[in-house]
Structure 1
């Protein structure tokens, strides 16, 4: 995925979360699409990156390539969380919150208090501010 495609994917997920939110239904999908928007915004910020391998500079374009290059066994979401914390504690904390809420939404229940949905939307705003991504 190119950098532009990554940004467009994030914008698409964010737009989907807004449509779902305006419906007043599907709290689980509002949270899930908000989480995935944050994931793509963070990946947009981080990738591509360069690293050294056998005395050569290599380009790492995805979280999976990063995990492979550094032989990381954590899943891609937890690895991205670690990278987010390396950028900024606040970025890592907001991403981690959205990750946790999306796991609850996808695997445990689909109804949430309005305050949780609002908090998830606020987390995405903070992530965009930290990454200097214009508000849409």
Structure 2
């Protein structure tokens, strides 16, 4: 069985953190590991009207058709806050770290990289994929 995108990115994050030379990529891989993890955990689900969403793309497309105009990242944050107890703030903070590190000329402290990894580890615990 092939490993999931989440697991692949998690392993890359761990490798890069140990290496210590690409701390911006530690944060980036931590975020993308979390993104795939939460989407794997949330979907499929039924909404209050019993409509079943099989994937994030289906959910996002339907919300756009209904006039909701937020980004995919903000939509995912909203879903995590609603559907994974205790993970909303962790996921939002990880998203914000990732967004910020892409604009800091690759200068990311080891402390920020470790914080990003800790957010990912906590999210993994909350969704039961340790």
TM-score of the aligned structures, taking structure 1 as reference length: 0.82
Aligned pairs for 1:1-136 (under 5 A) are 8-51=4-47, 58-71=51-64, 72-88=68-84, 90-134=86-130
Within 1, Cα distance between the matches of 2:9 and 2:87?
19
Give the structure, 1 or 2, with the largest relative contact order (CA under 8 Å, sep 6 or more): 2
Within 2, Cα distance between the matches of 1:29 and 1:23?
11
In structure 2, runs of 5+ residues without a counterpart are: none
**Superposition deviation, residue 114 in structure 1:** 1.6
Cα shift readout 1:56-107 (whole Å, capped 9, x = no counterpart):
x654233221122223311111111011111246301011011001111223
Within 1, Cα distance between the matches of 2:34 and 2:27?
11
TM-score of the aligned structures, taking structure 2 as reference length: 0.86
Contact 2:42 2:83 in 1 (8 A): no
State the SS of the aligned residue for 1:10.
helix
CA RMSD, Structure 1 to Structure 2 (Å): 2.1
Q: Whose strand proportion is higher, 1 or 2?
A: 1
Within 2, Cα distance between the matches of 1:62 and 1:107?
30
